[in-house]
Structure 1
Amino acid sequence: MSDASMPTAAERGTPTAEPLVFLHVGDLHLTKPDTRNAADFRAILDQIAMIAPQHLLDFVYLPGDLAENGWACEYAILADALARHPHLPVRLIPGDHDRQQGAMADFQAFHAGLVASRGLPAPTVWTLDQPPVGSPEETWPPAEIPHYCACENFQGVRCLFVDIVSPGYGRKGIGLDFRLGPDQTQWLSAALTQAAEDGVPVAVFMHAYPDDLREPDDRLDVAGLFRATGVRLVEMGHTHYNELAHDGRTLYAAARSVGQNEDGSVGYAVAAIDGPVTSWRFKALDRPWPFVLITSPADRRVAARPATPETSGMVADARGRIAVRAVVLSDAPPRYVHARVGTGPWVRMAHAGGRTYAAWLAWPRDARSIQVEAVHEDWSGHGPDFVDTDVIEPVVAFDEPGFVPAIPGKPGSDVPNVGRSLQKGVRGDQLGPNRAGRKW
């Protein structure tokens, strides 16, 4: 399809802005520079740095548990790996392993170096009661604690980075202690309320599900706040396996660990928010370029409720066609990108001039799936290498006016997970130290 045959943005009913696109590299658990996970992390960064052009992505997200023990020598491995790619945009927060020793001085020093060298947001200092180094039965004195919380806008999406580790009291031998301090809770509530008033979509980045917070009241308060303010995506680490859980309004997404991985090939997740649609898919390190992610319409398993043609990206024109958009990541522009409905004819997608490829496809009444395929310039003409495909099942039944999705029995948890979705890289077996895996 030529550019001239593409519909206008108004005809498509889709936004003219570029989608938010970020890459999520899971928990690293770095220990020594010659270990497998350290080598894998360097290889992942090398592969990400090959993406051409680099403006196809907004940032690389590291969700905490960067170091296995929270030691300076472990952060030195991470600093050296990042130094090889000084222009790669990175955002990160701490995990529970980053305070394994009951303190975060080494993490704080490492992060301060990134603030100076890469322009990361500086932490906010809030006063909290903290346990002393000695007996936990002693009085907990107040202390000035840096919190790695930040609010930034990328492609019209408000991104909130939420630190649930610094306000906690956890250390090795005591167990997990994810918390939100009172000042941090007020900051989060105010930021989400303002975003809702501004009418902008929100993505939250934290280490674990709200259900993993230590205080039961916090679990319900935070999950309810996310739901009430319409948070689109909560991106997390901690599980060590790929997982998607959708409560009807908010998609919770976790990516497998690089450092303690039982879930399959290491790699990284690619996520996008394109107007009303949120998309997610895992890219294995051992798969060659290209990589394709359909950013609109929405897959029915993670589509926002109430489901309407507008919220699902299924607005049709007078000829019954819908707009299909996709992001292609590769080390070179693809030879071609095409799309089809079901097993119907392929239609060439046009490069929309920014991050997306787009096509206008007829949508028959009995249609059930959309497939987008990208072909690398090195493809030999046969075989699966250098060809990548994403497949979604769009929403085909819409909610009645006034429909409100039911609140899940355990909000902010993995209970409403979508289960096995191999196309997205989700195995559904929850192999990791926090559920069904071995104890690392």
Structure 2
Amino acid sequence: MSTSSPKGPNRPFVVLHVGDQHLTVRDARHHQDLIAIFQQIACFGENAFDFVYLPGDIAENGAAEEYELIEEILRDYAPRAVHLIPGDHDRQYGDMGAFGKFVGRIGLSGHEPIANSVRQLPSGPGAEPAGTIPQFYRAADYGDVRCLFLDMISAGYGRKGQGLDFRLGRVQLDWLSAEVQRARSEAKTCAVFMHTYPDDLEKGEAEEVAGLFWSQGVRLVEMGHTHYNELGHDGRTTYAAARSVGQNEDGSVGYAVAAIDEGEVSWRFRALDRNAPFVLITSPADRRLATRALRAADDGRVVVRAVVLSESAEIRCRCRVDDGPWQTMARASEGGAFEAAVEWPYGSRRVAVEAIHPSWPGYGPDHIDRDMVEPPSTVLLSRSRPEGLGSDACNLGAWLEKGVRGDQLGPNRAGRDW
């Protein structure tokens, strides 16, 4: 259930999160957008990221012909590594047979189902007996990051008209607890990939999972389901949700880029309608997501590191502190990471990084991209368990520079018809 994959040389851990697809029919707008997203990803170098993540709700109705659409895209454009999990729509009509066959056909390494004995919830009078069902969860190591992919769907029922029922089941819960503790004992940073917030699990499981993440210092929980971009931070764990490919109330369609650099999380949404290169600062961490304070070296400098995604290898990258002079950043790896050691005068507040495509004419917003962070001078970690642990109670609200509008428009929060 656990695999190991090499991380890009001298590059932070990077994952591209392509939100819920909800595929229905060929050439629908969201089908075309999904093709465009994978076409763009296919232009990046092999070492630019670690994998593409699909957080479930791949098919709107869990139908075989809907999975055929994503199979074609993965066959034509898929990078070397893709991880996917089921969402509630993949069991829209109470059956995950088509999802299981789809996973078997695409032959992704480590995605084989695990047969567990799980007592299903009743769908009518009386309780159904325990049955052996397949569950799709696994672990994979990328350098010093352990990734855990959870199946919240198979152990519930999630039938259309009966409401959602997110469960892991006892066997998967025990596996999750063991993997999280093992990651900590091996000094690995733990990242969890699931369809939605732990709080949406059945009540007993929700409390157990949220408490486990907080107590063991899981650094990142990456999710779908919301249909909008959202970032939350409870002082130890960053909760990140990305908008769907199809639902259009949250601005431009695109995908999220998440990174872990020396145990700290960074995240930013890339809109598909921007033709510029994309840049994400991975070090230092922003105060809103950081778990430790920024400390300059003895020479008064800090290392600024950023990941750039582009189809061009001729990208220039530069950084500056507050309104100081721009400083050229050197390419630190084959995978699009750049870094520079910069002076950090007392009282400094911001770091900005720009990535410049060779087509940039020297003016205008096209072919140039900028990211900015505010490193923390102090970080206070609460010793007491926060309220609303494992839910969106810790959400940070609007953060436009990261692509987060903060208005929570979407079907599961705002009751939209999707």
TM-score scaled by length of structure 1:
0.90
Partner of residue 241 from structure 2, selected from 254, 274, 289: 254
Number of residue pairs the alignment of both structures matches: 409
Note the C-alpha offset of 1:277: 1.4
Q: Which residue of 2 aligns with 1:430?
A: 408
Q: Does the 8 Å CA contact 1:49/1:88 hold for their aligned counterparts?
A: no
Note the C-alpha offset of 1:439: 2.6
Task: Supply the distance in 1 between the matched residues of 2:220 and 2:197 (Cα, whole angstroms).
Answer: 12
Q: Which shows bigger deviation, 387-396 or 428-437?
A: 428-437
Task: Supply the distance in 2 between the matched residues of 1:109 and 1:335 (Cα, whole angstroms).
Answer: 42
Q: Which residue of 2 aligns with 1:412?
A: 390
Task: Supply the distance in 1 between the matched residues of 2:185 and 2:16 (Cα, whole angstroms).
Answer: 28
Note the C-alpha offset of 1:315: 3.1
Q: Does the 8 Å CA contact 1:290/1:334 hold for their aligned counterparts?
A: no
Q: Which residue of 1 aligns with 2:91?
A: 99
Letter in 1 for 2:213: F
Q: Does the 8 Å CA contact 1:334/1:374 hold for their aligned counterparts?
A: no
Q: Which residue of 1 aligns with 2:136?
A: 148
Note the C-alpha offset of 1:436: 2.3
Q: Which residue of 2 aligns with 1:284?
A: 271
CA distance change for structure 1 residues 45 and 395 in 2, over 3 Å: closer, same or farther? same
CA distance change for structure 1 residues 409 and 237 in 2, over 3 Å: closer, same or farther? same
Listed one character per residue, the Cα deviations across residues 169-219 of structure 1 (whole Å, up to 9, x for unaligned) are: 120000110012010110101111111111110000000000111x21211
SS at match of 2:224: strand
Q: Which runs of 5+ in 2 are unaligned?
A: 1-8
**Does 1:201 pair with 2:189?**
yes
Note the C-alpha offset of 1:120: 4.1
CA distance change for structure 1 residues 155 and 288 in 2, over 3 Å: closer, same or farther? farther
Q: Which residue of 2 aligns with 1:343?
A: 323
Q: Which shows bigger deviation, 341-350 or 253-262?
A: 253-262
- 1:3-402 map, 5 Å: 17-51=10-44, 53-115=45-107, 118-130=108-120, 136-213=124-201, 215-304=202-291, 307-308=292-293, 314-355=294-335, 356-399=337-380
Listed one character per residue, the Cα deviations across residues 88-123 of structure 1 (whole Å, up to 9, x for unaligned) are: 4210000000001101000000001122xx424312
Note the C-alpha offset of 1:262: 1.2
Q: Does the 8 Å CA contact 1:24/1:268 hold for their aligned counterparts?
A: yes
Listed one character per residue, the Cα deviations across residues 336-374 of structure 1 (whole Å, up to 9, x for unaligned) are: 100000111000001113432111111111211100000
SS at match of 1:183: helix
Q: Which runs of 5+ in 1 are unaligned?
A: 1-15, 309-313
Q: Does the 8 Å CA contact 1:333/1:376 hold for their aligned counterparts?
A: no
CA distance change for structure 1 residues 431 and 29 in 2, over 3 Å: closer, same or farther? same
Letter in 2 for 1:33: R
Task: Supply the distance in 1 between the matched residues of 2:150 and 2:367 (Cα, whole angstroms).
Answer: 37
Q: Does the 8 Å CA contact 1:102/1:171 hold for their aligned counterparts?
A: yes
SS at match of 2:256: strand
Q: Does the 8 Å CA contact 2:55/2:195 hold for their aligned counterparts?
A: yes
Q: Does the 8 Å CA contact 2:15/2:257 hold for their aligned counterparts?
A: yes
Task: Supply the distance in 1 between the matched residues of 2:314 and 2:57 (Cα, whole angstroms).
Answer: 35
Task: Supply the distance in 1 between the matched residues of 2:375 and 2:115 (Cα, whole angstroms).
Answer: 45
Q: Which residue of 1 aligns with 2:6?
A: none
CA distance change for structure 1 residues 383 and 86 in 2, over 3 Å: closer, same or farther? closer
CA distance change for structure 1 residues 167 and 241 in 2, over 3 Å: closer, same or farther? same
TM-score scaled by length of structure 2:
0.95
Q: Does the 8 Å CA contact 2:397/2:406 hold for their aligned counterparts?
A: yes
Q: Does the 8 Å CA contact 2:42/2:79 hold for their aligned counterparts?
A: no
Q: Does the 8 Å CA contact 1:296/1:325 hold for their aligned counterparts?
A: yes
Task: Supply the distance in 2 between the matched residues of 1:120 and 1:60 (Cα, whole angstroms).
Answer: 14
Task: Supply the distance in 1 between the matched residues of 2:109 and 2:167 (Cα, whole angstroms).
Answer: 27
SS at match of 1:292: strand
SS at match of 1:217: helix
Letter in 2 for 1:48: I
Note the C-alpha offset of 1:125: 1.1
Q: State the identity %.
A: 54
